[in-house]
Structure 1
Amino acid sequence: MNVGLGLPISDPLSLLSWARRADAGPFTTLGLLDRLVYANPEPLITLAAVAGVTSRIRVQTEVLLGPLRESALLAKQAATLDRMSGGRFTLGIGIGTRQDDYLAVGADVRGRGRRLDRQLATLRRVWSGEPYSEEVGPIGPAPVREGGPEILIGAFAPTAMERVARWGDGYLCAAPAGMADRLMRDVERSWTQAGRAGRPRMVAQVNVALGPEDTVRDATEAITSYYGFLGDTTRVVENMLTTPERIRDVIGAFADLGADEVVLYCWARDADQVDRLADVVA
């Protein structure tokens, strides 16, 4: 079982230190979430900086809100990050749920799934080296991997499960293990029905805070603020893993479900969590 780390968003200047420490440890991926109307750092810019101070660990968006971005530019940005990281970039992509993010770019939140489908088709076409359109030629640079960076699609709706089979390399599941079982099986069925060879890569994401009371309190405040739009954040806070035993149990549960990787998403700024979580993983 591979284990990655999700980077906290409340202190962007600390993330290069987080990245160096994680790169020296047992972790396989560094993930970063995406929002527009929030105080998080922009993920593609930040992960480019992270890739520059690391040599081994992968960098991944979890998830990039694709419909907020213009497709040709996103294709170029993603291919550039893939090249400059030596092929270590994974594009986790989805549609998001916050209307204010869409209002900020003058886009309608309705129909965002259909826009993502069109966008994914464009990304694949650009990354294959084909002309962008009848009037516009190819857009480079070419990504490291033929066909483009790995794409993981994060979602919950049945139509999104089918999107994984049409355009993705795998599924990014930000749900508890009990719910994830059904979602992952739905993805596998859609994959088989679409005639795809092999199996989709399955990546789970769970929220963690490991350390003294100050660390857990900082994480609780951060995750409560981020998910405040839900109104009641009790379940989100309760699902955050705060002990080595719970973290090991959940990693094991996802392993039993067939997950290839679990990303432990950190909300507290305490960078010593990298070493504590490394001990749990080891």
Structure 2
Amino acid sequence: MTGLGAVFRPQLAPERLRAVARVADEVGLEELWLWEDCFREGGISAAASALAWTERVRVGVGLLPVPLRNVAVTAMEAATLHRMFPGRAILGVGHGVQDWMGQVGARAESPLTLLREHLLALRALLGGERVTTEGRYVRLDDVALDWPPGQGVEVFAGATGPRSLRLAGEAADGTVLTASTPPDGVRRARRLIDEGRATAARADGHRVVVYLLAATGPDAGERLRAELAAEGDASVPDLGVAGDAAAVAKAVERLAEAGADTVVLQPTGDEPDPEGFVRFAAEEVRPLVA
């Protein structure tokens, strides 16, 4: 079955998260995803709060920019969430928006090298290993978590370009694709991810999560077109969806047929009713998705 989720966008004030998370839990939404966009809201603090306010919904962070964190800190925070809320936290990391990284003095000369080193060390630490490594960016000397997760933990990587998609297949357990990815883009991403998996002789599972920009309501088309234009995606075919539950479900299924395991509905930045959007996803769209 195709997984379905929704995004709590950081354009909303942090104090709005509690109400949205509780609605997601009440209506049976499978996954609620959060972003750590500079300079809005902290991903780990928001995820911990959402998990504490709810009982069953899985909470994803997509993505944590690795230039901002020592990998040991990422591992400690991720392990803490997984031990306190077993099976409910989803962690995604990425190399970050380079302009933002530059603003805080954390821009890496080779973002891909940094992401590779971070992924390898992070997965090893969360797997309970004791790690010593001397990389270009990641340096650890006999580091192990005192409280590693009690079960296997998936680490997702955000990826867009061919090299980062191959790296995700090689070094991550799953991939997060942005809302700028149409069905054909998902197919291409799957091929590149599989190339990376083959390079690393990976035979385990690899879940692909795709954001889908979605709008519903009387002004849905106008809001969708405005956001696509603002993101420079107005000319990309088959991108985003506006309309009722049937229209959104069809768009979800097109992404699933292209290779998405989970589709996360991303409201427009000016969505007037975030709680209603979550209800729409769970109560109206979910029953129509195979």
* Normalised TM-score (structure 1): 0.85
**Matched residue type, 1:177:** P
Per-residue CA distance 1:66-110 (angstroms, 9 max, x = gap): 2221211111111111212223111112113331x2123312343
Given that 2:72 and 2:122 are in contact with CA atoms closer than 8 Å, whether structure 1 keeps it comes out as: yes
Q: 2:164 aligns with which of 160, 165, 180?
A: 160
Closer, same or farther in 2 for the Cα pair 1:233/1:158, shift >3 Å?
closer
Closer, same or farther in 2 for the Cα pair 1:109/1:193, shift >3 Å?
closer
Q: 1:1-282 to 2 correspondence within 5 Å? A: 1-11=2-12, 12-36=14-38, 38=39, 40-99=40-99, 101-133=100-132, 135-146=141-152, 149-174=153-178, 175-213=181-219, 223=227, 232=232, 234-235=234-235, 239-244=239-244, 245-267=246-268, 268-270=271-273, 271-278=275-282, 279-282=284-287
Q: Distance in 2 between matches of 1:216 and 1:10?
A: 20
Query: Tell me, what secondary structure is at the counterpart of 2:242?
Result: coil
Closer, same or farther in 2 for the Cα pair 1:216/1:44, shift >3 Å?
farther
Please state how far the C-alpha of 1:157 moved relative to its aligned partner.
1.9
Give the total of aligned pairs.
271
Per-residue CA distance 1:230-272 (angstroms, 9 max, x = gap): 6x46458x94422124311211112212321111112325121
Q: Distance in 1 between matches of 2:164 and 2:23?
A: 35
Per-residue CA distance 1:11-55 (angstroms, 9 max, x = gap): 22111111111122242211112222x3x3111110100000112
Closer, same or farther in 2 for the Cα pair 1:98/1:269, shift >3 Å?
farther
Given that 1:211 and 1:273 are in contact with CA atoms closer than 8 Å, whether structure 2 keeps it comes out as: no
Query: Tell me, what secondary structure is at the counterpart of 1:41?
Result: coil
Unaligned runs of 5+ residues in structure 1 are: none
Runs of 4+ in 1 over 4 A off after TM superposition: 134-137, 215-221
Q: Distance in 2 between matches of 1:181 and 1:2?
A: 18
Given that 1:132 and 1:139 are in contact with CA atoms closer than 8 Å, whether structure 2 keeps it comes out as: no
Please state how far the C-alpha of 1:169 moved relative to its aligned partner.
1.2
Q: Distance in 2 between matches of 1:135 and 1:62?
A: 28
Q: Distance in 2 between matches of 1:276 and 1:102?
A: 35
Query: Tell me, what secondary structure is at the counterpart of 1:34?
Result: coil
Query: Tell me, what secondary structure is at the counterpart of 1:272?
Result: helix
* Root mean square deviation, CA, Å: 2.6
Structure with greater strand percent: 2
Q: Distance in 1 between matches of 2:224 and 2:16?
A: 15
Q: Distance in 2 between matches of 1:122 and 1:165?
A: 16
Closer, same or farther in 2 for the Cα pair 1:107/1:165, shift >3 Å?
same
Q: Distance in 2 between matches of 1:55 and 1:142?
A: 22
Q: Distance in 2 between matches of 1:141 and 1:108?
A: 31
Closer, same or farther in 2 for the Cα pair 1:71/1:135, shift >3 Å?
closer
**Matched residue type, 2:256:** A
Q: Distance in 1 between matches of 2:98 and 2:243?
A: 31
